[in-house]
Amino acid sequence: MKPKFSQPNQAEQEWIAKSIAHARSLIAASDPDGDACDMTPGVLDVAYRQWLTNGTDINEQANDVVHAIGFAFGQFLVDNDEFEWTLVTDQFGTDLGVRALPSMGDVLVCPASMVAKRWETKETDFLVPMYRAVIDQRDSVRKSWESKETKPWWKPW
């Protein structure tokens, strides 16, 4: 099944904003002297690791924290790397994601699902390498698309 994309509705946009506000509080708790506005992948890695290793009600808070960290990561991609929020439906269901290059290759990340998979294994420090991989993929798709546009129609190689 080919994925279908649509714009998040008002309730979904509010959920994203609320989750990002929660991420700011996680960042502030992990580094009281830091800047909770600095929501880079590295800062989010630290906040998630601190919460996971120092939290008390981890299982009860997991869903909120997974969405907070995931949506903050997604917003970082939106704010800095030409991604946009989207609602994606495919053979696995429907999820909130961020997408780049919609007319070229649909580089897609479902950030909360990505964090949830790491929550299951208690993996930490994955957002910085994931960010690099996502940007490398976006750049690779763009480069591939641009090279196709510059070749003459009669020269497929």
Token pair, residue 53, equals: 């290793």
User: Which phi and psi angles does 109 have, rounded to 5°?
Assistant: -130, 130
In the prediction, which pLDDT does 149 show? Answer: 59
Would you list the domain boundaries of the chain?
4-145
Token pair, residue 35, equals: 């800047």
In the prediction, which pLDDT does 43 show? Answer: 95
In the prediction, which pLDDT does 154 show? Answer: 57
CA distance 92 to 143: 29
- Give every CB contact of residue 143 below 8 A, 6+ residues apart in sequence: none
**Rounded average pLDDT per 10-residue block, the chain, 157 residues:** 93 98 92 76 95 79 95 98 96 96 90 96 97 97 79 55
In the prediction, which pLDDT does 70 show? Answer: 98
Architecture of domain 4-145: Up-down Bundle (1.20)
Angle between helices 41-54 and 58-80 (to 10 degrees): 180
In the prediction, which pLDDT does 35 show? Answer: 66
Sole residue written with tokens 């309730």:
11
- Give every CB contact of residue 20 below 8 A, 6+ residues apart in sequence: 39, 68, 71, 72, 75
In the prediction, which pLDDT does 86 show? Answer: 97
